[in-house]
Structure 1
Amino acid sequence: MAVYLDERFFRSTRGRIVVLLRRASRRVDELARELGLTDNAVRAHLAALERDGVVRQGGTVRRGRGAGKPAHVYELTPEAEGMFSRAYEPVLSRLLDVLVEEMGREGEEELLREAGVRVAADFGVFSGSVRERLEAAVGALNELGGFAELVEEEGSFLIRGHGCPLSGVVSGHPEACRLAEALVSGLAGVKVHERCERGGSPRCRFEVVPGEAGGG
């Protein structure tokens, strides 16, 4: 859904539909009037947005006496609302600044690990072999924006990310990776070593040594 963050998108017809739906749920004919398009043209755009998980049908309403069958109402999905938020990076960064000032780096790391454990608990406990649990952990990490995959190298498992859900803060606060480390460890029930890349394009990277993986 990151493609929809492009400013050019919001100047396009589909972007204008998204902006209108953020203000209020609307029927196809209402969108068509607002945009100066035919109903069929609007339906085509809505179908594409629905396919990409940006909009959904939110029920039906009657258009008035003698107006035919009820019409579908369209609305943004909860996930799409996140496209409009730019607050998390500056807010989280400043919060971490305060934690360092108040608790020091070690105290901040301990708190971030605890946060990772609690996020893992929200997903529940995964079962199965070590590989199955790690694959499930990768899936959960991807739900949070990790874009990761599980690979096996020289007898060790490696979770290799192609992005980072905390990329906006790890350059200034590399200890934020401890949250992700505790998250993956808690989800898979194994000991995980964080080896994240924190250069220009931060990427998640976690190693699991078979001898430390526990049962499964």
Structure 2
Amino acid sequence: MELRSETPTDAPTRARVARSILENGASTAAQLADRLGLTPAAVRRHLDQLVAEGSVDSAQQRVRGARGRGRPARVFSLTPAGRDHFDQAYDDLAAQALRYLAETGGDEAVMAFARRRVAFVERDHARLMATEPDRDPAEALAQVLTDGGYAAGVRDLPIGHQLCQQHCPVAHVAHEFPQLCEAETEAISHVLGRHVQRLATIAHGDGVCTTSIPDLPARPGSPRTRTAFTP
């Protein structure tokens, strides 16, 4: 097969494809084409290159319910190597600094640093809710985290929400220092005023960080707890 020569626009476009996967999670070629305003053929060409260089891998898309005719679409997701291209260039330096902090100040000093690092979550969430008081707090949290480089979104569940973070700018360091994840989970809990549960983290090899956010129990007499009466 004859390989097409690279054009000056190929590398930036390929970076757009990779960033779209980073920000939106596993995607099909058709979804990427629609999102980026490209043809499916052009997207597949860039995906082939990203797969070849080890930045992206693919798997068959899971289909719920009856499957239609034709082969299932393939979904593409970033590999750990692919994530390395996004703002993780100083991982080694950060890890060395935290090792020194742990040696000189102990685990408590590392945790104090981790809490200070995510202080922006509570600060920025409070500011956002002050300007948009009718906004859903979980949606506002996702916006704050996205602005902080986490590419976050919220899914509605029957018993609450699920916070999904497609990217973690400190994933490699957090693998060695879980206090970074613990402080982040604490901040999410404080912001929303309830206990939350971390289900998966990129730092421990999962494809996305997910946090379960249960609904607060409704107050007695509120519309959610009031029993309907039919005469």
Structure with max Cα Rg? 1
Report the TM-score when normalising by structure 1.
Answer: 0.49
Q: Which has the higher helix share?
A: 1
